[in-house]
Homo-oligomer: A and B are copies of this chain.
């Protein structure tokens, strides 16, 4: 498939798709007659560039080209995939498919971002109904991995498999829904919560802020990592799932919900919600809220990635396809660029700058990345050997501020079977200035006894050519300096 995506409809969802395709190396062609499309999509892409690459330790593919098209035909003519995100009106969608399929070949698949319509409804009256299916993402599309993939009986199995592969290539997790249904799965659950919440606000039981707090300080934390059923399975404990569910029987018959009524969305209720929401979140602009949300999502996703759990397990699987071969950089006389981080709020001290121990955290992470590169992985550690840091000399050169992007470059100074002497430099990505340096001496040890011992053969085989190449690099000035040593001009 040509790696060209046509994005038809350039709102928040279309923009999110554009960003995900672009940052995963696809060329993107956007069509939306709205006069603000370029600015709106551009803002979403800015947000995505600020967030998505932070999920990966591996470099992402080279970004694709972005073109805003004046006509639908320009956008779709060469596309390998068309993503439709026009407003949720069936007639509007049908009109879009007609135009799209008049200008594309048979077999060019069209995914719809619809959160409500069934694929069989979308396919009604289409030129090639079998080429249309639901590919429903979640906002922000560039960060959340889930995409609900809903074909009808008319779609071919091979076509659905092709779309799954495509979505996985974008770092997404396609959930193939085998029986079409209004609103698929997620939005049915969301609709249920939304309805009940409207009643709670309408009846003055809770404000929008209170409902949000109930979610994010309570079950929202559970649902970010286990869903509903696994959470209940755990809560049920040893008695088992069957026993636990049985207990719910009586509750279902209790009048614990107003869900059996449909709340009327009066002007007064809309006003009430809007003004409560202003009180809750109005101090921040939408842009600021987006960045807050994205920063939090990056943190949550990285926490799960560290644990190889839930969304984090999928991120690791995707990252494995991005990693260059282990020895890809070995043998060249180039500094190793091992780490790219952002200064987080918890890294700031009472002086308003990055606090000193966080520097060592970053340098230690860079050393860990180097160790992984030379084959000191989980398996090697399990074998009872590791490298321990014996000493570190950190020199601070300039201040790092909140939110600043920093990257490390690493030089191997000297190494033998037992010693690994490295020098890290921490740069600011924006202006390239040196923020700090660290000289570290690591020793290879038997982790049970703590005694220094020679490194394994595989490690030495990875390390030796790297070290040899690095000997050609100039020796950094701070190497061998002691604390408080005066500079000689």
Contacts and interface: CB of A to CB of B under 8 A. Distances in A.
A335 interface: no
Contacts of A240: 274
Interface in A111-140: 116, 138-139
B256 A483 contact: no
Interface stretch (A95-103, A157-165, A206-214): A206-214
Contact of A307 (B278, B344, B361): B344
A191 interface: yes
A254 to B, nearest CB: 7
Interface hub of A211, A248, A305, A483 (most chain B Cβ within 10 A): A483
Interface hub of A210, A386, A392 (most chain B Cβ within 10 A): A392
Interface stretch (A71-79, A260-268, A463-471): A260-268
Contact of A217 (B173, B179, B281): B173
A49 interface: no
A104 interface: no
Contacts of A297: 221-222, 225
A221 B311 contact: yes
Contacts of A144: 217-218, 221-222
Contact of A233 (B192, B254, B281): B281
Nearest to A443: B396
B483 A188 contact: no
A323 interface: no
A286 interface: yes
A450 interface: yes
Interface residues of A, number: 161
Interface stretch (A24-32, A288-296, A425-433, A453-461): A288-296
A235 interface: yes
Contacts of A146: 213-214, 217-218
A489 interface: no
A197 interface: yes
Nearest to A221: B224
Q: Which secondary structure dominates chain A's binding surface?
A: helix
Contacts of A195: 192, 252, 257, 259
Interface string A273-308: 110111011000010011011011101111111111
A253 interface: yes
Contacts of A106: none
Contact of A116 (B138, B241, B256): B256
Nearest to A206: B185
A399 B450 contact: yes
A62 B96 CA distance: 66
Contact of A300 (B218, B221, B439): B221
A210 B255 CA distance: 28
B309 A292 contact: yes
Contacts of A138: 218-219, 222
Given A241-B274, A262-B260, A296-B304, A227 B215 contact: yes
Interface string A413-425: 0100001010000
Given A173-B217, A345-B306, A224 B224 contact: yes
Given A193-B189, A214-B175, A300-B221, A390 B381 contact: no
Contacts of A203: 179, 181
Given A185-B210, A300-B225, A190 B219 contact: yes
Contact of A289 (B221, B230, B286, B300): B230
Contacts of A192: 192-193, 195-196, 257, 259
Q: Top 4 nearest A-B pairs by Cβ distance?
A: A212-B227, A220-B223, A299-B303, A224-B224
24 contacts: A116-B251, A145-B217, A146-B217, A185-B214, A186-B214, A189-B214, A189-B215, A216-B224, A219-B223, A221-B224, A224-B224, A225-B297, A230-B277, A230-B281, A236-B286, A253-B262, A296-B303, A302-B303, A353-B388, A356-B364, A356-B392, A391-B396, A392-B392, A481-B482
Given A12-B235, A245-B273, A246-B265, 18 more contacts: A116-B251, A144-B217, A146-B217, A211-B229, A216-B310, A225-B293, A229-B281, A241-B274, A242-B270, A242-B271, A245-B274, A260-B262, A306-B347, A356-B360, A357-B360, A360-B394, A391-B394, A421-B484
